Chain A
Amino acid sequence: MSQIKIANLQKLFGGFTAVKNSNLTINDKEFFVLLGPSGCGKTTTLRMIAGLELPTSGEIYLGEEEVGMLRASERDIAFVFQLFALYPHMNVKNNLSFPLKMQGYSRSEIKTRVEEAAKLLRIDHILNSSISSLSGGDRQRVALGRALVRRPKAFLMDEPLGTLDAEFRELMCLELKKLHIDIGATTVYVTHDQLEAMSLADRIAVMDGGEILQADEPAVIYNKPATKFVASFIGSPGMNFINIDQGISNEQSTLNIDGTNFNIPKQYEISKSKKNSFGIRPENLSLTNEGGLKGSVFGVEYLGSRKIVTVKTNFGEIKVKTNISTSVKINENVQVKPSNNNIIIFDGETDRSLKSEFMN
């Protein structure tokens, strides 16, 4: 197992920049998730680490070795494909032993390793079955097994749970996490599903438009997003933004919106733009009768343990996560007010969050 490092990695497809100047260090034994909407470059990044695409420029280090221009077969990594790519003309056992045959292991060694992996993944009873007779979950396990038998330097997974139905996905999510704890392998996992990312990852890198916007632990990504995109992409629903037509000065700790003064965390950075955004998550807002932003109730979603109330204001729709006991009617006039100081100001020019007492 080893650390993976990418430095100034770039990939162009014709005139299209798929991955922009990316830098990332994935620690040894870490479960690292690349998260982003489709077309954001996460899969391309993963395929470059695997050696299935060659970078246009930049370096990739596996451990100490620079592997950017090596063939996939020379890198000693394992890849789990979204559609599993199990060889349909071989049975489960042959699929598992296929990577070992190439490396010239003895028959008995191959047998032991295949049985070991099969036992770990609880597929030892289907070793002689054909691939087409397997369920989605079992195919997933076989694909993991094929990655596992070789004991590679790292596991790369490209949305491996994407094709499973919801029930199986949850189960496999748990199994993946447990497997990672058991074997402690460096894993890079690509997904567009934030829940999957949150529940699996030691650290997450959020990508958009070929750029890595933020790489950090799930809680940091959620609570202290580095950019407006991260803030809106993570969380369900995402962060609320209120456009403010004023600059932010150093040490500023109140903000006047629509004639009302709101406390904000003490700012440590001067905004570059005069048009910034005030960002706050739905659970940090509450409904009140006075001292907030005026609006009317537009919709109420019932989520079992919480309610999401959408309030229409002069600044657009604002979503508020409230207690189940809160009762409001459609079109009722309400006011919305922050219930704590977890507020982030995003610079209108760079879309990055400004440093403050909260965003330190």
Chain B
Amino acid sequence: MDTSRSYLEPSSFSKKLAATIIIVYTVITLIPISWMVMTSFKNVNSAISYPPEVFFEPSLEGYVNLFTNRSRQSQEYLDSLPPPENWYEELVRSREMVITGPSKFLGRYSNSMIIGFGSTFASVFLGALAAYAFSRFRVPLKDDLLFFILSTRMFPPIAVAVPIFIMYRKLGLGDTHLGMIILYTVVNLSLAVWLLKGFMDEIPKEYEEAAMIDGYSRLQAFFKVVLPQAMTGIAATAIFCMIFSWNEYAFAVLLTQFNAQTAPPFIPTIIGEGGLDWPAIGAGTTLFLLPVMIFTIILRKHLLRGITFGAVRK
């Protein structure tokens, strides 16, 4: 028998097997994403060519098309224009078009940012306060209230789309940033309360008691002592909330058109000449992926510890 390792440690065979499975799984999940990124760097023709091109000459046409509105012009008109001022104008003219102005993408993208981060902040902040109260105080009907909060997630949110649509119209919240932030916060809040309550329960109440003895009010103790220790839970909760609000499509289609439209309903509507502009859509989705990716990477350290739900405490 091999006595050089503990019998509790996995054998080298099972380690190799696990690694293989993880690599295969990673590759499978990465295929659509890498295809999307590749599409964003193709030109219109190579994007729809069959068989699909894996090796191609990269082009920024998709990104240019994403950010601009263009119109087709006759060769005579193009010849009469002064020479192009920069590389993207040149690129557009080579397709016999001129740039007529910026597209709506940047506006939609910043709407997504405002609504995504706004509702994430609101969910986590309100969720943390509620979770703290549920964790520490003798709230009347505590269990029933917690169940009620959870029950708001027992049906798909879109099931209440019609009443919300009518309410929003009456309240003047339709197609506003505030309206979307409120809506996403409501949907995320139950998750935030439940997740954070678990984390708050893990923090011994002696910490805030010590702070209160040291002269701080309960609210000050909450911010100075409890919140820093709940960082793990807050990071995990924030990521879940952010992913939902950032990706939400159905309500965004229904409730927003111009002012507060987010990127998800906008990107699929990018129409080029003679059909969908796949490279532009690829470019839009690639850029759309970035904020959540960066957000997750920043909070990754906390997330990895957070996913174990504080089961192990030093």
Contact = CB atoms under 8 A, between A and B. Distances in A.
B217 A73 contact: yes
B204 A83 contact: yes
Nearest to B227: A89
**Chain A CB within 10 A, most for which of B204, B207, B210:** B210
Contacts of B213: 50-52, 72-73, 77-79
Contacts of B209: 52, 72, 79, 81, 85
Interface stretch (A97-105, A186-194, A317-325): A97-105
Interface in B195-213: 204, 206-207, 209-213
Given A85-B206, A132-B314, A73 B215 contact: yes
Interface of A: 50-52, 71-73, 77-79, 81, 83, 85, 87-89, 98-99, 102-103, 132, 146, 150
Interface string B139-174: 000000000000000000000000000000000000
B25 to A, nearest CB: 35
| A-B CB proximity, top 4 nearest | A99-B214, A85-B206, A102-B215, A85-B210
A146 B204 contact: no
Contacts of B211: 87, 98
A56 B211 CA distance: 24
B216 A73 contact: yes
Interface of B is mostly: helix
Given A83-B204, A87-B207, A72 B212 contact: yes
Interface of B: 204, 206-207, 209-217, 220, 225, 228-229, 314
Nearest to A152: B213
B206 to A, nearest CB: 4
B205 to A, nearest CB: 9
A50 B212 CA distance: 10
Contacts of B228: 87, 89
A300 to B, nearest CB: 45
A88 B209 CA distance: 14
Given A72-B209, A87-B225, A88-B229, A102 B204 contact: no
Contacts of B204: 83, 85
A310 to B, nearest CB: 42
A156 B211 CA distance: 15
Nearest to B209: A52
B314 A52 contact: no
A52 B212 CA distance: 9
Contacts of A79: 209-210, 213
B206 A99 contact: no
B232 to A, nearest CB: 11
Contacts of B220: 102
A50 B217 CA distance: 14
Contacts of B212: 51-52, 71-73
